Amino acid sequence: MKFEHYGIGIAKGMALTFKHLFRKPITTQYPEERLTVSRRTRGNELVWDKERCTGCATCAKSCPEGCIEIITSRGEENNYIVDKFEVDMGRCIFCGLCVEACPFEALFMGYAYERARYRRQELVMDKEALLLSGERQPSGYARPKIEAGLPRQTLLLDRDKVKK
């Protein structure tokens, strides 16, 4: 006859339950408390460096969703002037192929993850919305030089170190 028939199984289960009752919770009280995401995160925005972009449209050609639209005109030095650079983040699948394909390191995945909107049209990012600026933090995804300078990801194990 097995011991469980004498209630040992229940006792074991209850012991485990009680053990967890006294453990420190590892949940995060978002949005009051935010964890630092992975340095290589593929957030829900793209970041564009206007100065480095040549308007070659390699990123747009690499996008499997066709959600990057670029319109260029010819400049005085036979260069491209980017008149329109628009990304429909509502269709983007955050694959990062456009970032990997950019030969001039002018496009980055963003660090942001709070871009929920009520209307799909509001997810379309134009040149100004994509522009690399102080507010927009590029992710280190496919950009090892940037990755090295980004803060370390907060793991739930390190939760005690998270500033509240």
Any idea which residue has 């050609």 for tokens? 61
Q: Is 132 in the site for ligand SF4 (CB under 6 A)?
A: no
Q: Are 91 and 116 in contact (CB under 8 A)?
A: no
| Residue 6 or 113 with smaller CB distance to ligand SF4 | 113
Segment contacting ligand SF4 by CB under 6 A, of 15-23, 25-33, 90-98, 148-156: 90-98
Sole binder of ligand SF4 in the list 37, 56, 131, 146 (CB under 6 A): 56
**Residue carrying structure tokens 């990801």:** 153
Cα gap 127→49, rounded to integer Å: 10
Q: Which of 96, 110, 138, 140 binds ligand SF4 (CB under 6 A)?
A: 96
For the record, the structure tokens of 43 come out as 């957030």
140 binds ligand SF4 (CB under 6 A): no
Burial class of 148 by CB neighbour count within 10 A (0 to 12, 13 to 18, 19+): exposed
| Part in contact with ligand SF4 (CB under 6 A); list of ranges 9-17, 96-104, 119-127, 154-162 | 96-104
Nearest to 122 by CA among 61, 13, 45: 45
The residue ranges that bind ligand SF4 (CB under 6 A) are 53-59, 62-63, 65, 67-68, 70, 87, 92-98, 102, 104, 106-107
